[in-house]
């Protein structure tokens, strides 16, 4: 019996020891797990701190240039803040009858810096710059003005060409009317890059240009027009002094354009105009007594005051045109950047008829933004173009329809 009790006690005792041992073990394991968890958390926190400080370091690295930029801007603003420069410029502008788009944009930039984007005159200045600039020769200016207006919260569409690569749109610049993004010439090209937001057919055709480019819709002196008598006789004389120069040619998605080096001039009476570029339309935009020609070349000139004059040369189907032959050989079939053709010179005079008798009227650019104040001289004598040469032109139709004269007088030399 004694032995039995001892045995029981022993078992109990051992069991107790075992139970105690188990409990102790469990406690140890628990705290071990807790410790492990804590360690893990600490490690994660440490890592986070490391990452954050790395980010901070990065930020600090980037900050100095940003700070420098902010300081520059601040300095610029302070230099201009008393308004003297602005008043000076505005007074100078008032003396001149017409302002170049560059000056409008400059005025806008000054006002943006000193008065901010809420200032109506800031908005007005950029809008005027936009109205007065033509896409061909003043792309940067148009981009700058569109961005400035968009940044000032104006409902302005920033053309995709104006945005940095990889940025497809500027959210605040989205138009209310999305029609321009639908199918048509303005849709995405093969390269995935968006083309400009106007074309010659469908929703982006000439009837809708005015939605995006106000002057195209509300202008009262628009081009092209139907040339039809009676004409007012003019004594004005036009002479062309065009020069041979390196061939730079571009397919800009709307036409084939040749950009001309400095030196080629047109004289209207005694006033010299520099030839900037010439480009083509098929069929001719101008009609004579209601009839279009096969094609037309527009020679675009600008004088020192920034006034534009266009000389239009009509092409009539007939013999091959040797000047065009040379151009068409190098004209890019697809839209793309300007091509400087190595070792090839071209003289724009090769496309002119011998006689420079003309019809003349005051009009506009025939493409957006349809800027007015452009003098047109349409040569009465057409030049030849072979039917195949018309067909080689990569645009089937790129002509704006004729616009109402609204009381304008056409004169004839």
Active site residues: 254
Strand pairing category for 372-379 and 308-317: parallel
| DSSP type of residue 40 | H
CB of 298 to Zn ion, least distance (A): 3
Site string for Zn ion, 366-405 (x = CB under 5 A): x---------------------------------------
- Return the range that interacts with Zn ion (CB under 5 A); candidates 46-54, 98-106, 211-219, 298-306: 298-306
Rg of the chain taking only CA atoms, in angstroms: 36
- Name which of 129 and 378 has its Cβ closer to Zn ion: 378
CB of 411 to Zn ion, least distance (A): 20
- Return the range that interacts with Zn ion (CB under 5 A); candidates 181-189, 220-228, 290-298, 368-376: 290-298
Strand pairing category for 226-227 and 287-288: parallel
**CA angle, 7 then 11 then 14, to 5°:** 135
Q: Is 151 left (phi over 0), alpha (psi -120 to 50) or beta?
A: alpha
CB of 285 to Zn ion, least distance (A): 6
Indicate which single residue of 104, 282, 298, 302 sits in contact with Zn ion (rule: CB under 5 A): 298
> What are the distances in angstroms from CA 318 to CA 276, 332, 353, 389?
28, 24, 14, 10
- Return the range that interacts with Zn ion (CB under 5 A); candidates 78-86, 264-272, 358-366, 405-413: 358-366
- Name which of 173 and 378 has its Cβ closer to Zn ion: 378
- Return the range that interacts with Zn ion (CB under 5 A); candidates 74-82, 211-219, 294-302, 394-402: 294-302
CB of 354 to Zn ion, least distance (A): 23
CB of 365 to Zn ion, least distance (A): 8
- Name which of 126 and 299 has its Cβ closer to Zn ion: 299
- Name which of 194 and 281 has its Cβ closer to Zn ion: 281
Return the closest-CA partner of residue 104 out of 119, 122, 82, 116.
Answer: 122
Return the closest-CA partner of residue 329 out of 258, 254, 383.
Answer: 258
The residues with which 267 forms a beta bridge, in sequence order, are 239, 272
How many Cα atoms within 13 Å fall on the side-chain side of residue 271?
13
- Name which of 103 and 281 has its Cβ closer to Zn ion: 281
H-run or E-run covering 34: helix 2-80
Binding interface with Zn ion (CB under 5 A): 298, 366
């Amino acid at each position: 019996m004694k032995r039995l009790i001892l045995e029981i006690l022993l078992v109990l005792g051992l069991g107790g020891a075992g139970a105690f041992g188990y409990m102790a073990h469990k406690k140890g394991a628990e705290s071990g797990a807790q410790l492990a968890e804590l360690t893990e958390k600490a490690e994660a926190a440490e890592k986070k701190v490391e990452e954050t400080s790395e980010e901070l370091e990065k930020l600090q690295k980037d900050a100095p240039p940003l700070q420098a930029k902010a300081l520059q801007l601040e300095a610029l603003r302070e230099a201009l803040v008393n308004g003297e420069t602005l008043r000076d410029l505005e007074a100078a502008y008032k003396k001149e009858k017409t302002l170049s788009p560059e000056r409008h944009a400059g005025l806008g930039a000054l006002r943006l810096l000193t008065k901010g984007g809420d200032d109506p005159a800031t908005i007005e200045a950029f809008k005027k710059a936009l109205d007065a600039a033509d896409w061909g020769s003043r792309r940067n200016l148009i981009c700058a003005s569109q961005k400035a207006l968009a940044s000032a919260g104006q409902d302005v569409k920033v053309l995709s060409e104006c945005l940095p690569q990889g940025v497809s749109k500027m959210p605040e610049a989205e138009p209310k009317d999305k029609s321009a993004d639908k199918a048509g010439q303005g849709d995405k090209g093969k390269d995935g890059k968006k083309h400009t937001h106007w074309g010659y057919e469908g929703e982006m055709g000439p009837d809708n240009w005015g939605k995006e480019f106000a002057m195209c819709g509300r202008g009262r002196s628009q081009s092209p027009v139907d040339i039809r008598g009676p004409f007012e006789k003019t004594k004005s004389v036009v002479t062309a002094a065009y020069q041979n120069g390196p061939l730079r040619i571009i397919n800009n998605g709307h036409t084939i354009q040749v950009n001309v080096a400095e030196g080629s001039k047109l004289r209207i009476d005694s006033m010299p105009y520099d030839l900037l570029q010439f480009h083509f339309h098929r069929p001719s935009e101008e009609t004579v007594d209601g009839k279009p020609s096969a094609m037309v070349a527009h020679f675009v000139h600008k004088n020192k005051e920034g006034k534009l004059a266009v000389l239009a040369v009509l092409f009539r189907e007939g013999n091959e045109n040797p000047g065009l032959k040379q151009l068409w050989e190098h004209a890019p079939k697809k839209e793309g950047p300007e091509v400087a053709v190595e070792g090839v010179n071209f003289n724009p005079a090769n496309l002119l008829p011998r006689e420079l008798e003309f019809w003349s009227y005051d009009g506009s650019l025939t493409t957006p933004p349809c800027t007015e104040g452009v003098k047109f001289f349409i040569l009465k004598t057409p030049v030849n173009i072979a039917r195949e040469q018309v067909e080689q032109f990569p645009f089937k139709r790129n002509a704006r329809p004729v616009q109402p004269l609204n009381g304008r007088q056409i004169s004839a030399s």
